[in-house]
Amino acid sequence: MVTNPIPQFPAGFLWGVSTSAHQIEGAADAREPSVWDVFTAEPGRVKDGSTAAVACDHYHRYREDVALLADLGVDAYRFSVSWPRVNSPGGLDFYDRLVDELCAAGVRPVVTLFHWDLPVTLDWLERDTASRFADYASAVAGRLGDRVAKWITLNEPAEHTLLGHALGAHAPGRRLMFDALPVAHHQLLAHGLAVRALRAAGAGDIGIANSHGPTWPASATPEDMAAAEFYDVLLNRLFSDPLLLGRYPEGIGELMAKSPEDVATDLKVIAEPVDWYGINYYAPTRVGAPQGEEIAFGGLSLPSELPFSVREIEGRPVTDFGWPVVPEALTELLTGFRERYGDRLPPVVVTENGCSCEGVEDRERIAYLDGHIRALHRAVEAGVDVRGYFVWSLLDNFEWAEGYARRFGLVHVDYTTLERTPKASYGWLRDLLRARR
């Protein structure tokens, strides 16, 4: 029961939940390997030594999962298509069945084309991967385009670049530090080419899902301010400036590709207008000057040579991942985006928001979601054009380098029996959605 009702959102506001292919599907034998299969097979890469070979076995249990979505009462379901599966014989058949099942259940399919599971034969350091991505986008749109409500080209290219190629904490496990920047550029180019390819295939309503969060300087000293500014550029502007303004933040453009001419031409493709802008928000980050030692941050160990250090946000509850719970930072983020980009900012959709916590009586998750939905509403009241909100995640799933230790689901998954058990937060969200109707 919703005791303190959530305020009304504008008509047509889309409520949904999100997942990604590698984190839930399993059935690794029915697809080519991805960089994540190689990474997880290397000892020490994933904390609990697990892999996503079975994960939630959604590939075989998708009907049960769609029934959970229907019962939950969401308008839309955001899932990703696995590029390595599409490369395998019959791979698109699975998504065809899934999309049909969703439509029959009255749930609108929202498709992410890339959520980190790159086919192992490809490499984002290669410029040509961007063109391969556009070909793949066309193939998926050709098959599913008649039923998909919204398209997302890439999920969190910042994390894929920084964690996967700069710091080595995610697949493909490279530690290139700033030499990883071409990976960002090639993904952005892939996005722009895919937007064009999707439109050419007759698909519309296209966006991207970028992760963002306010950066709070540790103090007002010039050193802390400069470090926070640097971090903010990496996380909050490196991807959104080229997409929305058609330029890289100052001083970064030269580092992005082998030739400056490429960058100038590519930026025109990258800034191809999108129909909406997706934001994944979890927490703000407090940042100060480097402290010359490795820093533990959200399950990561950040190298000491970084030009910033991440500090604790005190006086806040933390999730069991150690992320601070700061709902009002979502309002700050969205109003800040509106100020920065003005009319260049298309309608926004919060494509991910959620927290990890244990147990099926997950009161912490309910408090987290309640606080963030109210904070989102305050952004709407302040004039930000927000069109939807997606909870991460429908199911507990394979949380990348953390393995199965972090549970983000509204539905508990027993990884031995694969039994699904809706948590208290699932019931809470179902009540909220019913009350809205």
Catalytic residues: 156, 352
Report d(CA 396, CA 40) in Å as an integer. 18
396 touches ligand IFM (CB under 6 A): no
Residue recorded with tokens 């799933």: 397
Nearer to ligand IFM, 51 or 291 (CB): 51
Among positions 25-54, residues that touch ligand IFM (CB under 6 A) are: none
Name 179's Cβ contacts closer than 8 Å, sequence gap at least 6.
Answer: none
Question: Least separation, in Å, of the C-beta of 264 and ligand IFM?
Answer: 31
364 touches ligand IFM (CB under 6 A): no
Question: Least separation, in Å, of the C-beta of 56 and ligand IFM?
Answer: 13
Question: What secondary structure letter does DSSP report for 299?
Answer: T
Nearer to ligand IFM, 267 or 391 (CB): 391
Q: Select from 148, 399, 403, 411 the one that contacts ligand IFM (CB under 6 A).
A: 399
Nearer to ligand IFM, 408 or 426 (CB): 408
20 touches ligand IFM (CB under 6 A): yes
Burial 308-326 (b: 16+ CB within 10 A, else e): bbbbebeeeeebebebbbb
Nearer to ligand IFM, 232 or 352 (CB): 352
Question: Least separation, in Å, of the C-beta of 35 and ligand IFM?
Answer: 14
Report d(CA 136, CA 134) in Å as an integer. 5
280 touches ligand IFM (CB under 6 A): yes
Backbone angles phi, psi at 218, to 5 degrees: -65, -30
Task: Answer whether 238's CB lies under 8 Å from 184's CB.
Answer: yes
232 touches ligand IFM (CB under 6 A): no
**Token pair of 346 as six digits:** 């298309």
Nearer to ligand IFM, 31 or 78 (CB): 78
Q: Select from 114, 390, 392, 428 the one that contacts ligand IFM (CB under 6 A).
A: 392
Nearest to 18 by CA among 367, 346, 282: 282
Question: Least separation, in Å, of the C-beta of 156 and ligand IFM?
Answer: 5
Residue recorded with tokens 């933040």: 249
List, edge to edge, every strand of the sheet that includes 285-288.
Answer: 215-217, 285-288, 309-311
156 touches ligand IFM (CB under 6 A): yes
CA dihedral 57, 61, 67, 70 (to 10 degrees): 50
Question: Least separation, in Å, of the C-beta of 115 and ligand IFM?
Answer: 6
Question: Least separation, in Å, of the C-beta of 112 and ligand IFM?
Answer: 10
Nearer to ligand IFM, 271 or 401 (CB): 401
* Cβ atoms within 10 Å of 146's Cβ, excluding its own: 11
Task: Answer whether 52's CB lies under 8 Å from 82's CB.
Answer: no
Question: Least separation, in Å, of the C-beta of 151 and ligand IFM?
Answer: 17
Question: Least separation, in Å, of the C-beta of 179 and ligand IFM?
Answer: 24
Report d(CA 41, CA 38) in Å as an integer. 5
Task: With residue 33 as reference, give the H or E element that holds it.
Answer: none
404 touches ligand IFM (CB under 6 A): no
Total residues contacting ligand IFM (rule CB under 6 A)?
8
Task: Answer whether 432's CB lies under 8 Å from 6's CB.
Answer: yes
Nearer to ligand IFM, 79 or 248 (CB): 79
Task: Answer whether 244's CB lies under 8 Å from 344's CB.
Answer: yes
User: Angle at the Cα of 277 (from 246 to 384), degrees rounded to 5?
Assistant: 105
Half-sphere exposure of 225 (CA within 13 A, CB side): 3
Report d(CA 275, CA 287) in Å as an integer. 33
Nearer to ligand IFM, 164 or 253 (CB): 164
Q: Which residue type occupies 138?
A: S
Backbone angles phi, psi at 226, to 5 degrees: -65, -40
Among positions 298-357, residues that touch ligand IFM (CB under 6 A) are: 352
Which chain residues interact with ligand IFM by CB under 6 A? 20, 23, 156, 280, 352, 392, 399, 408
